[in-house]
Amino acid sequence: MEDKISVIVATYNQEDTIARTLDSVLMQQCHVPIEIILGEDCSTDGTLAVCQRYADEHPDVIRLIANKQNKGLVDNYFDCILAAQGKYIADCAGDDFWTDPLKLEKEVCVMEQHPNVTMVLTRWNWFNETTRQISPGPTPPFPDGIIKGSEMLEPIVTQTNMNVYHLCTSLYRRDIFLKAYEEYPYLFRNKELATEDTQVAFMMALHGDFAYLPDVTMNYSIGKESASNTTNDERQFHFIRKIMNLCYYLTQQYQIHSSNVDRFFSRRLFALSMHAFRSHRPELYQETLKCEKEWHVRRTMPIRLAYTVMRHEWLWQIMLKVRLLFVAMKRRLS
């Protein structure tokens, strides 16, 4: 494992933004050498051509892994880490971009000065791809400086607004990842766990401390549909369901129990019920009932009301029409 930083750039169908991402990594000024592991996941647009051009122009820095078949984000991401050679891992998604040329330098200096720190995080901004407007991201609920990893475990599992961590701002230790990957393969390769960042952040907190820097170093792209941001209620239902599978596993495996955890699962169950309602899919309603039992969620009044509506097809159809009228009225007033 070399004393370098491996930057993971996993990309799929991002021909309009991947060059911007790579430029933001290439501009980094750091005393530790970097390599870019560029995982191109069998895109159907021109992403591969852009990636190949950058790999040809920067052969000493960029290692292009062009997948022959689409792996999906999670497998693509973890395969890139396994192919990396660096002591430290950073990542930048193919539609996000770093804004601070000293991002890696600031983070690696913290790592070198504090061997107990397993992950360094910074602040970030929202970047709307449609309007090109930049707005401040959420303020982390922790003070700047070093935070005990044991204090991070519950917040990592229960975060809902990405205000505890954003992996694309992070730098973390590859040896900790490899250790966790070997010990807990279920967390990293199970197809029912639809995320890559929660496992990484949780394992870093389990094996060390976090450090927060006050600097804004990244623009997070919004305004386009993605796996975590979609208007398709059925897809969003299955995405949330898989994330919650992971969260429930972690709370049970590591005995994380509190009233805050209970509220978190109640809120997410209600979110599932709303996606089931809007999609008008009875099988998703049944799946919501299964989740309630699996996660041992106590029904709140909003959940009870949602269930009441979906138990009666005639009422379900009426409420969907009411919702459409409400949405149309809201649009006229806005």
Distance CA 212, CA 238 (A): 32
Q: Are strands 209-222 and 145-147 parallel, antiparallel or unpaired?
A: antiparallel
What is the pLDDT, as a whole number, of residue 140? 83
pLDDT at 160: 61
pLDDT score, position 162: 58
Report which DSSP code applies to 167. Answer: G
Burial of 321 (0-12, 13-18, 19+ CB in 10 A): exposed
Phi and psi at residue 40, to the nearest 5°: -95, 115
Considering the chain, what percentage of its residues have pLDDT values greater than 90? Answer: 86
Q: Identify the pLDDT of residue 325.
A: 92
Q: What is the DSSP string of 48-82?
A: HHHHHHHHHH-TTTEEEEE-SS---HHHHHHHHHH
Q: What is the mean pLDDT of the chain?
A: 94
pTM, full prediction: 0.92
Confidence of residue 329 (pLDDT cuts 50, 70, 90): confident
Please state the rounded mean pLDDT for residues 281-301.
Answer: 96
- HEC letters along 216-278: EEEEEEECCCECCECCCHHHHHHHHHHHHHHHHHHHHHCCCCCHHHHHHHHHHHHHHHHHHHH
Cβ atoms within 10 Å of 294's Cβ, excluding its own: 12
In tens, the pLDDT along 21-63 reads: 999 999 999 999 999 999 999 999 999 999 999 999 999 999 9
The pLDDT of residue 121: 97
Higher-confidence position of 34 and 142: 34
In this predicted structure, which of 38-47, 148-157, 160-169, 321-330 has the lowest mean pLDDT? Answer: 160-169
| Overall average pLDDT of the 287-302 stretch | 95
What pLDDT is recorded for position 2? 76
Exposure string over 156-179, b if 16+ CB within 10 A, otherwise e: bbbbeeeebbbbbbbbbbbebbee
Q: How does pLDDT run across 224-235, given as a tens digit for each residue?
A: 755 555 679 999
**Residue-level pLDDT at 256:** 96
Q: Which of 158-162, 204-208, 272-276 has the lowest mean pLDDT?
A: 158-162
Q: Is the pLDDT of residue 194 over 80?
A: no
Report phi then psi at 127, rounded to 5: -130, 115
Closest CA to 108 of 94, 122, 129, 124: 122
Q: What average pLDDT does range 108-116 have in this prediction?
A: 97
By the 8 A CB rule, do 244 and 157 touch?
A: no
Type of residue found at 322:
V
pLDDT at 161: 56
Would you place residue 223 in the very low, low, confident or very high pLDDT band (cuts 50, 70, 90)?
A: confident
Average pLDDT over residues 119-137: 95
